[in-house]
Structure 1
Protein backbone atom coordinates (compact mmCIF):
# COMPACT_ATOMS: atom_id res chain seq x y z
CA UNK A 1 0.00 0.00 0.00
CA UNK A 2 1.48 3.36 -0.96
CA UNK A 3 2.23 5.55 2.06
CA UNK A 4 0.46 8.53 0.45
CA UNK A 5 -2.90 6.99 1.41
CA UNK A 6 -2.24 7.27 5.16
CA UNK A 7 0.52 9.82 5.68
CA UNK A 8 1.00 10.88 9.35
CA UNK A 9 -0.82 14.07 10.40
CA UNK A 10 2.37 15.99 11.24
CA UNK A 11 3.55 15.45 7.68
CA UNK A 12 0.18 16.48 6.22
CA UNK A 13 0.78 19.90 7.79
CA UNK A 14 4.33 20.04 6.41
CA UNK A 15 5.94 21.03 3.10
CA UNK A 16 5.29 18.83 0.06
CA UNK A 17 9.00 17.87 -0.06
CA UNK A 18 8.79 16.35 3.45
CA UNK A 19 5.72 14.38 2.40
CA UNK A 20 7.42 13.12 -0.75
CA UNK A 21 10.52 12.11 1.22
CA UNK A 22 8.37 10.09 3.63
CA UNK A 23 6.33 8.43 0.86
CA UNK A 24 9.36 7.42 -1.23
CA UNK A 25 11.30 6.10 1.76
CA UNK A 26 8.26 4.26 3.14
CA UNK A 27 7.43 2.58 -0.16
CA UNK A 28 11.06 1.52 -0.64
CA UNK A 29 11.17 0.16 2.92
CA UNK A 30 7.95 -1.80 2.37
CA UNK A 31 9.51 -3.44 -0.68
CA UNK A 32 12.59 -4.37 1.33
CA UNK A 33 11.20 -5.16 4.82
CA UNK A 34 7.45 -5.52 4.31
CA UNK A 35 4.65 -3.37 5.74
CA UNK A 36 4.92 -2.50 9.43
CA UNK A 37 6.73 -0.49 12.06
CA UNK A 38 10.14 -0.91 10.48
CA UNK A 39 8.96 0.68 7.23
CA UNK A 40 7.49 3.65 9.13
CA UNK A 41 10.63 4.10 11.26
CA UNK A 42 12.78 3.98 8.13
CA UNK A 43 10.62 6.61 6.44
CA UNK A 44 10.75 8.93 9.45
CA UNK A 45 14.54 8.48 9.63
CA UNK A 46 14.74 9.70 6.04
CA UNK A 47 12.57 12.72 6.86
CA UNK A 48 14.72 13.57 9.91
CA UNK A 49 17.85 13.83 7.74
CA UNK A 50 16.42 16.83 5.87
CA UNK A 51 13.70 18.18 8.17
CA UNK A 52 13.24 18.99 11.86
CA UNK A 53 10.03 18.88 13.81
CA UNK A 54 8.91 22.24 15.12
CA UNK A 55 5.55 22.26 16.84
CA UNK A 56 3.09 20.07 14.98
CA UNK A 57 4.86 20.06 11.60
CA UNK A 58 8.21 19.49 9.90
CA UNK A 59 10.44 22.27 8.51
CA UNK A 60 13.53 22.01 6.31
CA UNK A 61 16.86 22.00 8.18
CA UNK A 62 19.66 24.36 7.22
CA UNK A 63 21.96 21.41 6.47
CA UNK A 64 21.19 17.75 5.88
CA UNK A 65 22.42 15.04 8.18
CA UNK A 66 21.45 12.95 11.19
CA UNK A 67 19.32 14.82 13.70
CA UNK A 68 20.38 12.92 16.82
CA UNK A 69 22.61 10.15 18.17
CA UNK A 70 20.06 7.47 17.24
CA UNK A 71 20.01 8.58 13.60
CA UNK A 72 23.81 8.77 13.49
CA UNK A 73 24.29 5.39 15.17
CA UNK A 74 21.75 3.41 13.21
CA UNK A 75 19.30 0.70 14.11
CA UNK A 76 21.45 -1.18 16.59
CA UNK A 77 22.59 1.76 18.72
CA UNK A 78 21.33 2.13 22.27
CA UNK A 79 21.01 5.91 21.83
CA UNK A 80 17.54 7.42 22.12
CA UNK A 81 15.81 9.46 19.47
CA UNK A 82 15.11 13.15 19.99
CA UNK A 83 11.71 12.80 18.33
CA UNK A 84 12.47 14.93 15.29
CA UNK A 85 14.28 17.68 17.19
CA UNK A 86 17.59 18.50 15.51
CA UNK A 87 19.75 17.73 18.54
CA UNK A 88 22.89 18.22 16.44
CA UNK A 89 21.99 21.86 15.72
CA UNK A 90 23.75 24.68 17.50
CA UNK A 91 22.51 25.90 20.86
CA UNK A 92 21.67 29.23 19.22
CA UNK A 93 19.40 27.48 16.73
CA UNK A 94 17.72 25.52 19.51
CA UNK A 95 17.19 28.78 21.43
CA UNK A 96 15.45 30.27 18.37
CA UNK A 97 13.19 27.22 18.09
CA UNK A 98 12.44 27.38 21.84
CA UNK A 99 11.54 31.06 21.47
CA UNK A 100 9.24 30.24 18.55
CA UNK A 101 7.54 27.57 20.69
CA UNK A 102 7.33 30.02 23.64
CA UNK A 103 9.28 27.79 26.01
CA UNK A 104 9.75 29.58 29.33
CA UNK A 105 13.11 29.53 31.11
CA UNK A 106 14.98 28.71 27.91
CA UNK A 107 17.79 31.17 28.64
CA UNK A 108 18.84 29.04 31.65
CA UNK A 109 18.73 25.70 29.83
CA UNK A 110 21.63 23.61 28.61
CA UNK A 111 21.59 22.28 25.07
CA UNK A 112 20.25 18.91 26.26
CA UNK A 113 17.56 20.66 28.32
CA UNK A 114 16.51 22.63 25.24
CA UNK A 115 16.22 19.45 23.17
CA UNK A 116 14.00 17.88 25.85
CA UNK A 117 11.85 20.99 26.21
CA UNK A 118 11.38 21.31 22.45
CA UNK A 119 10.50 17.62 22.18
CA UNK A 120 7.91 18.05 24.93
CA UNK A 121 6.48 21.23 23.35
CA UNK A 122 6.25 19.48 19.97
CA UNK A 123 4.29 16.62 21.53
CA UNK A 124 1.90 19.06 23.18
CA UNK A 125 1.28 20.95 19.97
CA UNK A 126 0.63 17.69 18.11
CA UNK A 127 -1.86 16.58 20.76
CA UNK A 128 -3.71 19.89 20.47
CA UNK A 129 -3.70 19.70 16.65
CA UNK A 130 -5.23 16.22 16.79
CA UNK A 131 -8.00 17.50 19.05
CA UNK A 132 -9.15 20.09 16.51
Structure 2
Protein backbone atom coordinates (compact mmCIF):
# COMPACT_ATOMS: atom_id res chain seq x y z
CA UNK A 1 0.00 0.00 0.00
CA UNK A 2 1.64 3.24 -1.08
CA UNK A 3 -0.26 5.22 1.59
CA UNK A 4 1.49 3.42 4.45
CA UNK A 5 4.83 4.66 3.10
CA UNK A 6 3.54 8.25 2.96
CA UNK A 7 1.87 8.27 6.40
CA UNK A 8 2.39 11.69 8.08
CA UNK A 9 4.11 11.69 11.48
CA UNK A 10 0.96 12.92 13.24
CA UNK A 11 -0.83 9.78 12.07
CA UNK A 12 1.98 7.53 13.27
CA UNK A 13 1.05 8.69 16.79
CA UNK A 14 -2.68 8.17 16.18
CA UNK A 15 -5.11 5.23 16.47
CA UNK A 16 -4.95 2.50 13.84
CA UNK A 17 -8.44 3.43 12.57
CA UNK A 18 -7.22 6.97 11.77
CA UNK A 19 -4.24 5.52 9.91
CA UNK A 20 -6.44 3.11 7.96
CA UNK A 21 -8.86 5.91 7.02
CA UNK A 22 -6.04 8.10 5.72
CA UNK A 23 -4.36 5.25 3.82
CA UNK A 24 -7.58 4.11 2.12
CA UNK A 25 -8.45 7.65 1.01
CA UNK A 26 -4.87 8.39 -0.05
CA UNK A 27 -4.56 5.21 -2.13
CA UNK A 28 -7.88 5.90 -3.83
CA UNK A 29 -6.85 9.50 -4.53
CA UNK A 30 -3.55 8.30 -6.03
CA UNK A 31 -5.51 6.31 -8.60
CA UNK A 32 -7.65 9.33 -9.44
CA UNK A 33 -5.20 12.26 -9.18
CA UNK A 34 -1.73 10.71 -9.14
CA UNK A 35 1.01 11.61 -6.68
CA UNK A 36 1.05 15.07 -5.21
CA UNK A 37 -0.75 17.60 -3.13
CA UNK A 38 -4.27 16.73 -4.25
CA UNK A 39 -3.96 13.12 -3.04
CA UNK A 40 -2.74 14.36 0.36
CA UNK A 41 -5.58 16.90 0.63
CA UNK A 42 -8.15 14.25 -0.25
CA UNK A 43 -6.79 11.89 2.40
CA UNK A 44 -6.87 14.61 5.07
CA UNK A 45 -10.42 15.60 4.08
CA UNK A 46 -11.58 12.01 4.60
CA UNK A 47 -9.71 11.77 7.90
CA UNK A 48 -11.22 15.00 9.25
CA UNK A 49 -14.77 13.65 8.91
CA UNK A 50 -14.13 11.16 11.74
CA UNK A 51 -11.07 12.49 13.58
CA UNK A 52 -9.81 15.79 14.98
CA UNK A 53 -6.25 16.87 15.58
CA UNK A 54 -5.36 17.17 19.25
CA UNK A 55 -1.82 18.32 19.84
CA UNK A 56 0.51 16.09 17.84
CA UNK A 57 -1.96 13.30 16.98
CA UNK A 58 -5.52 12.58 15.81
CA UNK A 59 -8.40 11.43 18.05
CA UNK A 60 -11.94 10.29 17.17
CA UNK A 61 -14.52 13.09 16.98
CA UNK A 62 -17.69 13.05 19.06
CA UNK A 63 -19.73 13.19 15.87
CA UNK A 64 -18.87 12.45 12.27
CA UNK A 65 -19.00 15.16 9.64
CA UNK A 66 -17.07 18.08 8.19
CA UNK A 67 -14.85 19.92 10.65
CA UNK A 68 -14.80 23.34 8.96
CA UNK A 69 -16.38 25.36 6.15
CA UNK A 70 -13.83 24.15 3.60
CA UNK A 71 -14.62 20.50 4.32
CA UNK A 72 -18.37 21.14 4.25
CA UNK A 73 -18.31 22.78 0.83
CA UNK A 74 -16.65 20.03 -1.18
CA UNK A 75 -14.21 20.19 -4.05
CA UNK A 76 -16.32 22.44 -6.28
CA UNK A 77 -16.12 25.55 -4.08
CA UNK A 78 -13.39 28.13 -3.87
CA UNK A 79 -10.71 27.40 -1.31
CA UNK A 80 -11.26 28.60 2.22
CA UNK A 81 -8.78 28.33 5.05
CA UNK A 82 -8.95 25.04 6.94
CA UNK A 83 -8.64 24.88 10.71
CA UNK A 84 -5.64 22.54 10.87
CA UNK A 85 -7.63 19.50 11.89
CA UNK A 86 -9.45 21.27 14.74
CA UNK A 87 -13.17 20.48 14.71
CA UNK A 88 -14.36 24.08 14.32
CA UNK A 89 -17.97 22.90 14.18
CA UNK A 90 -17.83 21.31 17.64
CA UNK A 91 -19.54 23.01 20.56
CA UNK A 92 -17.76 25.55 22.73
CA UNK A 93 -17.74 23.15 25.71
CA UNK A 94 -15.93 20.50 23.65
CA UNK A 95 -13.40 23.04 22.38
CA UNK A 96 -12.86 24.27 25.94
CA UNK A 97 -12.13 20.70 27.12
CA UNK A 98 -9.62 20.20 24.29
CA UNK A 99 -7.97 23.53 25.21
CA UNK A 100 -7.79 22.40 28.83
CA UNK A 101 -6.23 19.10 27.71
CA UNK A 102 -3.54 21.02 25.79
CA UNK A 103 -2.98 23.59 28.55
CA UNK A 104 -4.11 26.62 26.54
CA UNK A 105 -3.83 29.69 28.83
CA UNK A 106 -6.77 32.10 29.07
CA UNK A 107 -9.22 29.55 27.65
CA UNK A 108 -12.02 30.45 30.09
CA UNK A 109 -12.26 33.98 28.63
CA UNK A 110 -12.11 32.93 24.97
CA UNK A 111 -14.93 32.95 22.45
CA UNK A 112 -15.56 29.86 20.35
CA UNK A 113 -13.58 31.30 17.42
CA UNK A 114 -10.69 32.20 19.73
CA UNK A 115 -10.68 28.66 21.14
CA UNK A 116 -10.48 27.23 17.61
CA UNK A 117 -7.54 29.51 16.76
CA UNK A 118 -5.78 28.69 20.06
CA UNK A 119 -6.26 24.94 19.50
CA UNK A 120 -4.93 25.26 15.97
CA UNK A 121 -1.82 27.04 17.29
CA UNK A 122 -1.33 24.56 20.15
CA UNK A 123 -1.63 21.61 17.75
CA UNK A 124 0.97 23.10 15.40
CA UNK A 125 3.30 23.69 18.36
CA UNK A 126 2.88 20.12 19.68
CA UNK A 127 3.43 18.65 16.22
CA UNK A 128 6.63 20.67 15.74
CA UNK A 129 7.85 19.59 19.18
CA UNK A 130 7.14 15.92 18.42
CA UNK A 131 9.07 16.08 15.13
CA UNK A 132 12.30 17.24 16.81
Shorter-chain TM-score category?
Answer: over 0.9
Matched positions, count:
131
How far is the alpha carbon of 1:77 from its aligned partner?
Answer: 3.0
> Is contact 1:73-1:79 (8 Å) kept?
no
Using structure 1 for the length normalisation, give the TM-score: 0.96
User: Does residue 69 of structure 1 match 2:66?
Assistant: no
Partner in structure 2 of residue 16 of structure 1 = 16
Using structure 2 for the length normalisation, give the TM-score: 0.96
Structure 2: any 5+ residue segments left out of the alignment?
A: none
- C-alpha separation in 2, matches of 1:73 and 1:115: 19
Partner in structure 1 of residue 51 of structure 2 = 51
Structure 1: any 5+ residue segments left out of the alignment?
A: none
- C-alpha separation in 2, matches of 1:79 and 1:36: 20
- 1:1-132 pair list within 5 angstroms: 2-75=2-75, 76-131=77-132
- C-alpha separation in 1, matches of 2:78 and 2:61: 24
